[in-house]
Structures are given as structure tokens and as C-alpha cells.
Structure 1
């Protein structure tokens, strides 16, 4: 039977023991639940994926600039019933709490400045900017989970071209198959009518 050790009981060479004497959390035998996740003292931007903790590596400038560009663009013509948020935890059932780069949520679900999470049912759009350490999660694992949770719109942002500009691939949910269908690949300009009227100059990242 597997035992869960306290920090004091960890051997000096344990993979959970850090050089400064601190330690990573030791996972329960069946992995973490959502309730566990929100009681742990974790590094910023840690995610819960399939009951396991996922720690985030330092990001490239492209990641930050793409988030800024898209966040500004999404706010420009935002309907009154919606809000744009970045890097907030989102609960997908009992064992998954990803932290999307950007979400568009219902205004009534984003009313408190003290809240630290959103529910999938309140999210209209999820945006993920692909990073070298999260390629598989951003391109495969997370989209499948977002679709299964019923989130209607998903954007995947990749760095492309000689000038390292964002390419945005847009997806809409097929509600019958609970899977995303691509609705376009956008290089210089992101002009959409869903989830609402959006027009973003992707080349403006050069000015940020």
C-alpha cells in the first residue's frame, strides 16, 4: 500500500525535496481533486490536469505580447454581458483545473474581485498561446477537455513566419460530437462575427 509522506519524512535525496529544504507536494495515491488543488500552496500558474499538477516554465516574450494583443482586441467591441479575463483557473469537472491564457466569460460569473476560478459553463471562449513546454497540452489535451466541457469557442495561437507573428486558428464546438471544428486560420488579421464582432490586427504585435 502506497504511503503519503510528510515533508519532514522525505529523504534528503527525494525528488520532492528542494535544495532550500522546501518540498513539492506529495500527490495522494489517486491524484489530486479540485478541492485539494485550491488548498495547496503552489507556484503561480500551476494547473491540474487529470489529477496531476502541471508546473509552468518561464514564458517567451511572444507569449506575453500575444496575450496583450488579443486581450486588447477582445475588449474593443466586447458586449456588455461579457468580460475578458487572463490567466485565471477554470474548473472542468472534479479532476481538471487548467489556466487558459485568456477567457471570455459571462459578466454575472465575473462579478467578484475575490474569486480565483471560473466554471466551464460560464466560459464562452478560451484562448491558448502555444509555448515550447506545453505544445502537446495546448494542441491536444486541453482542446479535447474544453470541448468535452461544452465551451463553444476555442482559439489556438502559434508563432509563425520570419517576423515571429501570431497565427490564430479558430474553432467552434460541434455540439453533437463534442469536438471542435476549425473555422479558419488567421495570419495578419483576425476578423470574426462569432462569438461576437471581432477585428484584430495581428501585425500590431510589432508595436508592443
Structure 2
């Protein structure tokens, strides 16, 4: 087998010496934690989101938050919507994701509560170039196994959010069932009953 050239990028790859523990991850500075995820203790580098990805995440979070506040005004338990936040799916081996948007039951920060699956109602992931397998297969399985009731996979076009693929947890099988795909091209303002009542206003999800 021929030797690799000394300037080959392959020579810069180094195997991670040991899995990252929950304690080690918690000690990381935020500027490092926000650019990685940890899967079974191994670091996965997250490419910086494009401006369009960031805008779409913010638009989705704003839309969901508006309906969450309406639900709370009708007596629903306290809800929070956040973007790019640590979601601890498992401590050993460490599985820590940073979803694009999360709807979850309010945490008591004074008690140091960490966001875990039992708090979460909905996780949203926006598909980027290179993330298709992670979002549509890897995370689909991880979030289901963790017991998160609802998972949306969102796709973009040149003008904004174009498609929302909705999955709901089958608790008997601990697997997601596809419960429908909303498409901007079909027009209208789809009304959903879960995880909270909300209406998809496509124009609010444009860049």
C-alpha cells in the first residue's frame, strides 16, 4: 500500500482517546459546547448554520412560542421555547444533542435543572446540506428512544420553510410514526392539535 503524502489531510485525523463523560462536557466553555454534539461519548462537530438556517429556526421558534403562550393563557402548564440548547438524552454513554428548536416544560433554573427528554414536548430539526442522515435517521431513532412525543423534520427552499414532516411517538413500540407532511406549495394555513394547538402561517416562516 503506498504511503500517504506528508501533507495529506488524512494525517491530521486523530482518534478520540476516550469517550467524553457528562462531567467533562458540563465543564466545557459554552463557545465550545455550542459547536459540538456528543454521541455515545464521541464528539461530533456541528457545521456553523447558514444565515437562512438561523432565520428559519428563529421564525419557527417565534411561531411556536406564540401558540405556547396562548395555550398557557388557557390554563396549560408553563412552556418554554428555545433554540440551540443542550438536550441531554443520556448520561452514560453521553448522548447530548443541540436541536434547532425545542418546546418544553419550564425548568427550575434555581434548582439547576437540565433539559432532559421528560420535559420535552417537541423537537424540531432543520435539514442542512450534510445533515440529512442525522436528522432523518439517527436523531429520529434517538429522540424516539428517549421518549420525546413529537419530532418535526423541516426543509427549506429559497424563500423559507417549505416542508414540515411530522412524527409522533408510538409509546408501545418507542418508535415514531409519520403523521403527515405539511407543504407550503399546497397552500392554506394548516391547523394542528398537538403537541399544542397551533396554526402554521407560512408567511411567518419566510426569510
Give TM class, smaller chain.
Answer: 0.7 to 0.9
1:87/1:130 CA distance change after superposition, 3 Å: same
Task: Confirm whether residue 98 of structure 1 aligns to residue 97 of structure 2.
Answer: yes
Give me the whole-angstrom Cα distance separating, in 1, the residues matched to 2:135 and 2:16: 24
State the partner residue of 1:200: 200
Task: Confirm whether residue 34 of structure 1 aligns to residue 40 of structure 2.
Answer: no
SS of 1:97's partner is strand
Give me the whole-angstrom Cα distance separating, in 1, the residues matched to 2:161 and 2:154: 10
1:72/1:190 CA distance change after superposition, 3 Å: farther
CA contact (8 A) 2:35 2:48 kept: no
Higher helix share: 2
State the partner residue of 1:167: 163
State the partner residue of 1:21: none
Spell out, residue by residue over 1:105-145, the C-alpha distance to the aligned partner (whole angstroms, 9 max, x if none): 112xx232896941111111100001113221111111100
1:170/1:113 CA distance change after superposition, 3 Å: farther
1:40/1:74 CA distance change after superposition, 3 Å: same
- The alignment yields a C-alpha RMSD, in angstroms, of 2.5
SS of 1:77's partner is helix
Residue 163 of structure 1: how far off its partner (Å): 4.3
SS of 1:133's partner is coil
Q: Which of residues 96, 118, 141 in structure 2 aligns to 1:144?
A: 141
Give me the whole-angstrom Cα distance separating, in 2, the residues matched to 1:114 and 1:59: 32
| Ranges in structure 1 where 5+ consecutive residues have no aligned partner | 1-12, 17-23
Spell out, residue by residue over 1:64-98, the C-alpha distance to the aligned partner (whole angstroms, 9 max, x if none): 12112211111112133211111100111122000
What TM-score, normalized by structure 1, do the two folds share? Answer: 0.78
- Number of residue pairs aligned between Structure 1 and Structure 2: 183
| Ranges in structure 2 where 5+ consecutive residues have no aligned partner | 1-9
Task: Confirm whether residue 135 of structure 1 aligns to residue 132 of structure 2.
Answer: yes
Residue 14 of structure 1: how far off its partner (Å): 7.2
Task: Confirm whether residue 153 of structure 1 aligns to residue 150 of structure 2.
Answer: yes
State the partner residue of 2:3: none
What TM-score, normalized by structure 2, do the two folds share? Answer: 0.78
Give me the whole-angstrom Cα distance separating, in 2, the residues matched to 1:118 and 1:61: 26
Give me the whole-angstrom Cα distance separating, in 1, the residues matched to 2:194 and 2:27: 37
Give me the whole-angstrom Cα distance separating, in 2, the residues matched to 1:68 and 1:128: 12
State the partner residue of 1:70: 60
SS of 1:182's partner is strand
